[in-house]
Amino acid sequence: MSGDNNSYEPITDWSREGRAALYSRHRWEIEKLLWDAWESFASDYDLSRFFGKCTGDENEIDRATAWCITRFVSGDLDPAMLTDRSFRLFTHPRFWIAQKVGAENLKAVLARSRIDYEQPSDGHDGSSVPPWDRPQAHGQMPVDCTPNSPSLGIDVQAFCDRLGDTLAVLHRRTCHCIVFYWLHGTEDLREILGWYLPVGIPPNTPGRSRKDQSFHSHDAMFRFVCLFAELVPEDSPPASLRVAVLAMFTSCPDKRPYRNEDSDIHARDPSLASSPRAVGKLRQEGCAELLDRALSLLERGPRLGEVLAVWFMRQSLSKTTVYALGLKERLDLRDRAAQVHERLFVEEN
């Protein structure tokens, strides 16, 4: 196809079945149009700002292309709202970014994602000021979370204050590196809220692979969600939850695995289990129980005033969370976490 507007094949069937059939028939053509468009776009913009940081051998352009295809095949697209109803749609990265972040936020997100963009200063230099000190929230909330009625009363600044309070608790109940991995894992989410705080990988983690960094970030986000949602039991929990609290939510050494070791927990209280290995099994059972509670909470629509909180927590959990917690056998939790993560449109009750 040439670049002439009239040379692009029209798309006539916009039902999900029709779009899926179109992709099946023209897969290579559609993927090439998207790939070429994203390759050109990536020379000026950081794609990780839109689709997250890649792990392992993943390629940012392949990841962007795959997201667009999934959105085209299974997403809600109203042709009446489109100016392009032809294959030319696959040559417009800005259209797909608007699908991802919301048209209302497109201009601001693009500006912050330019490769030559300089972050505005808000007084946080990452050294003298604690990272959980509250910034002023001056960004727009995601359009997907924009309330349909002023009665929802969303206060972005108050929400950032809650995040700051919970981050202080996370630091007190884990270690310094878990805080930094949480900051790293939520960088894109916080930027949307206007929480500008550049972060890097903790200095005592040399040589860590992207996979390791991703797992630690998802582990940290899971712990944050549990504390934020007040899911961590404080009084006489069952043995599995008690071990999970001792391992994951009690001050720990600032080194891998960034939790209290099973052997140390067993030595401290042998009555918990017969061996360190048995302690590890209880820990995993306790983490599975906490994740189940978090997912059950997020599978429901938010109550009044909880729109931002539910959006943030849904985006903090994913199927990677399940692997990061060592629960790869729990396919039920993996599938539920993936479904919750994809629910970008928050319902009103």
Q: What angle do CA 182, 109, 299 make, to 5 degrees?
A: 55
Residue 132 confidence (pLDDT): 36
Share of the chain above pLDDT 70, in %: 75
Measured distance CA(259)–CA(63) in Å, rounded: 32
> What's the angle, vertex CA 260, arms to CA 258 and CA 262, rounded to 5?
125
Q: What is the pLDDT of residues 166-181, one digit of tens each?
A: 999 999 999 988 998 9
pLDDT band at 200 (very low <50, low <70, confident <90, very high): low
Q: State in Å, rounded, how far the first CA of the chain is from the last one.
A: 47
Q: What is the pLDDT of residue 130?
A: 39
The whole-model pTM stands at 0.60
pLDDT at 140: 37
SS3 266: helix
Of the ranges 91-95, 102-106, 269-273, 307-311, which is most confident? 269-273
Between these two residues, 219 and 301, which has the higher pLDDT value? Answer: 219
Cα–Cα distance measured from residue 73 to residue 81, given in angstroms and rounded to the nearest whole number: 17
50-58 long-range contacts (CB < 8 A, ≥24 apart) are 50/97, 50/100, 50/101, 50/109, 50/113, 51/100, 52/188, 53/210, 53/214, 54/210, 55/210, 55/211, 55/213, 55/214, 56/209, 56/210, 56/211
Residue 141: helix, strand or coil by DSSP?
coil
Q: Which residues pair with 45 in a beta bridge?
A: 114
More confident residue, 4 or 85: 85
Going by pLDDT thresholds of 50, 70 and 90, the confidence category of residue 189 is confident
State the pLDDT confidence band at 51, using cuts at 50, 70 and 90: confident
Q: Which ranges of 56-155 does DSSP label H, i.e. alpha helix?
A: 60-74, 93-101, 106-113
Convert the pLDDT of each residue in 138-153 to its tens digit: 333 444 444 333 334 4
Q: Which two tokens stand for residue 186?
A: 């939520």
